[in-house]
Amino acid sequence: MSITRRDLLRNIGIAGGTGVMFSSMGALGLNPAALAAQTPPFTPLDKNALRGHGKRSVVVMGGGIAGMTTAYELLKGGYDVTVLEGRDRPGGRNWTVRGGDRYTDLDGNRQRAAFSKGEYMNTGPGRIPQMHVTLDYCKELGVDLEVFNNQNADAFLYREGDHGLDGEAVRHRAAKADVYGYTSELLAKATDQGALDAYVTDSDKEQLIAFLRGFGDLGDKVDGDPAASFAYTGTSRRGYEVQPGAGRESGVETTPYALSDVLASGVGRYFSFEFGFDQAMVMLQPVGGMDRIAYALADAIGRRHFRYGTEVVAYRNTADGVEVSYRQGGATRTITADFAVNTIPPHLAAEIPSNLPSEVIAALRSAQVSNAGKLGIEYDRRWWEEDYRIYGGISNADTDLSNIWHPSYGYHGDKGVMIGYYNTGGDADSYGALTPDRRLQRAVAQGRKIFGDVYTQGITASFSQNWARAPFSEGAWVHWRDQNGADYERLLEPTGNIHFAGDHLSHAIAWQHGAMVSARAVVARIQERVAAS
């Protein structure tokens, strides 16, 4: 029987929705340069994975993305899987809040979201890069996707400080045109004047100047007048006071900011975000909220494998497996299994009684916890679209708001939910220390500086999350002092029959991709042990 090239591709992972292996693709004659950004290969377990090895059971501690991916993949191989999840929903930090949702944090802040029907906010992850395996699971599980606008030329940059752009809401497009214009002018001048002759050939110089003239929308070289040569004096790329229209309306262009102001404001430092590896467009989101992934995984796993509302209170290796105790309602129960996969955040997992060796507990404790906060504000009209012509995307401020997200769904609808802040670290802590009402007040006062009075009007609902004080998370994500260090390495290895998984054990921390690939690695490792037994 002959195997077509396509069958072969499917066999090495596409059919399973589990990523594509670089080297295999190269071997099949595709353009290898084309295939950067590929996912390490993973072969899902065969349904006969346990044939000849008897029944094997795994208890998964935590029903977030890592835990559910673990359960989902183990079930493909016929394992007996039980997921213990403290919350009454799947997903962990993948949490979409809708109207009617209730929440109490560890500080006792009680909120009931009053968002309108169809409106939501993703309190945790909100975007997915093209190359992440998260998309493969969306495909495999039938989660519909739409574009998340991580970049919008008409959104704002807002910078305060001792410079000419202080307190001014600057369109991304204007900032970019000015920064690219001035830097192109300077580099064209230096190149033309021979300042870079040690580094570039004559042919390079010619090509470089041709590139810069287009990139910066520069003027001509003025013979004998270096100062006037290649001048940046503005461009339509900045946008218009009045845009081009009918008849004689050729448009009224805007005036560039001064070079020193543009540089001193630091607006240009934002741009590299937009071409970062995991932030460059195209990015995607599930239609209807990020938790569509969580619920799709939960549905695929099946209700009978979940125990919600269970708090793990002890776990230990035994002679031939593991024992995990949990509290549910008033009662404490113990479950035994051949293996445990511990996806509980490391700083919390360290504090649950166990018989883990002290160096493993120390390794768990060595995780550095980061905070992040998000505020959703529902408005009774989509003024960012109507007044500012901003359809999704991020406005960025150097105030404590950091990032304001304009919604990438529901365009032209009656209402909309903006993310009023997505901040981290000290800013998240400082908003988190306030009551939800005060968070909204403060964020609205800060946002008004960027968007004007409209920011204060027609607010119909809001909800905020302070991840540092979220039950079962107590943090947004963790990082490591040294990701090649002994602590991190120790958690990659199982301790007896207890394995660890989570985005924190990947090089894609704070991404669902990280949780998923970590889970896959543990699934492969467990199967390896079983196969060798």
Interaction with its own copies in 5-44: which residues (CB under 8 A)?
5-6, 9, 14, 20, 22, 25, 29-31, 33-40
Q: Which residues pair with 498 in a beta bridge?
A: 340, 495
Binding its own copies (rule: CB under 8 A), the pick from 106, 195, 222, 433 is 195
- In the complex, the smallest distance separating the C-beta of residue 452 from its own copies, rounded to whole angstroms, is 4
Instruction: State which residue, 134 or 317, has the beta carbon closest to its own copies.
Output: 134
Residues in 134-163 that interact with its own copies by CB under 8 A: 135, 138-139, 144-147, 149, 151-154, 156
Work out the angle at residue 18's Cα, subtended by the Cα atoms of residues 15 and 24, and round it to the nearest 5 degrees.
80
Q: How far apart are CA 380 and CA 415, in angstroms?
A: 5
- In the complex, the smallest distance separating the C-beta of residue 338 from its own copies, rounded to whole angstroms, is 22
For residue 491, give both structure tokens: 């958690």
Q: Is residue 224 within the footprint of its own copies (CB under 8 A)?
A: no
Binding its own copies (rule: CB under 8 A), the pick from 56, 98, 238, 415 is 238
Instruction: State which residue, 185 or 427, has the beta carbon closest to its own copies.
Output: 185
Spell out, one character per residue from 63 to 82, where the chain touches its own copies: x when CB under 8 A holds, - when not. --------------------
Please choose, from the candidates 374, 296, 258, the residue with its C-alpha nearest in 3D space to the C-alpha of residue 90: 296
Q: How far apart are CA 475 and CA 466, in angstroms?
A: 8
Which residue's entry shows tokens 């500012």? 388
Q: Is residue 388 within the footprint of its own copies (CB under 8 A)?
A: yes
- In the complex, the smallest distance separating the C-beta of residue 472 from its own copies, rounded to whole angstroms, is 22
Q: Residue 498: enclosing H or E segment and its boundaries? A: strand 498-500
b/e map 126-156, b = 16+ CB within 10 Å: bbbbebbbbbbbbebbebeeeebbbbbbbbb
Q: Is residue 181 within the footprint of its own copies (CB under 8 A)?
A: no
Q: Residue 451: enclosing H or E segment and its boundaries? A: helix 436-451
- In the complex, the smallest distance separating the C-beta of residue 250 from its own copies, rounded to whole angstroms, is 5
Which residue's entry shows tokens 């009053």? 114
Instruction: State which residue, 244 or 426, has the beta carbon closest to its own copies.
Output: 244
Spell out, one character per residue from 425 to 464, where the chain touches its own copies: x when CB under 8 A holds, - when not. -------------------------xxxxx--xx------
Q: Which amino acid makes up residue 256?
A: P
Q: Is residue 479 within the footprint of its own copies (CB under 8 A)?
A: no
Q: Are 123 and 92 in contact (CB under 8 A)?
A: no
Instruction: State which residue, 211 or 334, has the beta carbon closest to its own copies.
Output: 211
For residue 247, give both structure tokens: 């008849």
Residues in 265-324 that interact with its own copies by CB under 8 A: 266, 268-269, 271-272, 275-277, 280-282, 284
Binding its own copies (rule: CB under 8 A), the pick from 387, 437, 482, 528 is 387
Instruction: State which residue, 246 or 331, has the beta carbon closest to its own copies.
Output: 246
Size of the site for its own copies (CB under 8 A): 132
- 3-state DSSP of 108-173: CCEEECCCCCCCEEECCCCCEECCCHHHHHHHHHCCCEEEECCCCCCCEEEECCCCCCCCEEEEHH
Binding its own copies (rule: CB under 8 A), the pick from 212, 294, 397, 434 is 212
Q: Is residue 236 within the footprint of its own copies (CB under 8 A)?
A: yes
Answer positive or negative: Cα dihedral of 340, 346, 351, 356: positive
- In the complex, the smallest distance separating the C-beta of residue 463 from its own copies, rounded to whole angstroms, is 24
Binding its own copies (rule: CB under 8 A), the pick from 57, 80, 89, 196 is 196
**Which of these ranges, 55-63, 174-182, 306-314, 420-428, lies near its own copies under the rule CB under 8 A?**
174-182
Instruction: State which residue, 352 or 519, has the beta carbon closest to its own copies.
Output: 519
Q: Is residue 177 within the footprint of its own copies (CB under 8 A)?
A: yes
Instruction: State which residue, 106 or 228, has the beta carbon closest to its own copies.
Output: 228
- In the complex, the smallest distance separating the C-beta of residue 357 from its own copies, rounded to whole angstroms, is 20
Please choose, from the candidates 36, 8, 37, the residue with its C-alpha nearest in 3D space to the C-alpha of residue 24: 8
Q: Are 503 and 512 in contact (CB under 8 A)?
A: yes
Q: How far apart are CA 438 and CA 424, in angstroms?
A: 18
Q: Which residues pair with 340 in a beta bridge?
A: 59, 498
Which residue's entry shows tokens 């001064």? 258
b/e map 51-66, b = 16+ CB within 10 Å: eeeeebbbbbbbbbbb
- In the complex, the smallest distance separating the C-beta of residue 369 from its own copies, rounded to whole angstroms, is 21
Number of residues that this document lists for the chain: 533
- In the complex, the smallest distance separating the C-beta of residue 208 from its own copies, rounded to whole angstroms, is 6
Spell out, one character per residue from 348 to 377, where the chain touches its own copies: x when CB under 8 A holds, - when not. ------------------------------
Residues in 82-141 that interact with its own copies by CB under 8 A: 130-131, 135, 138-139
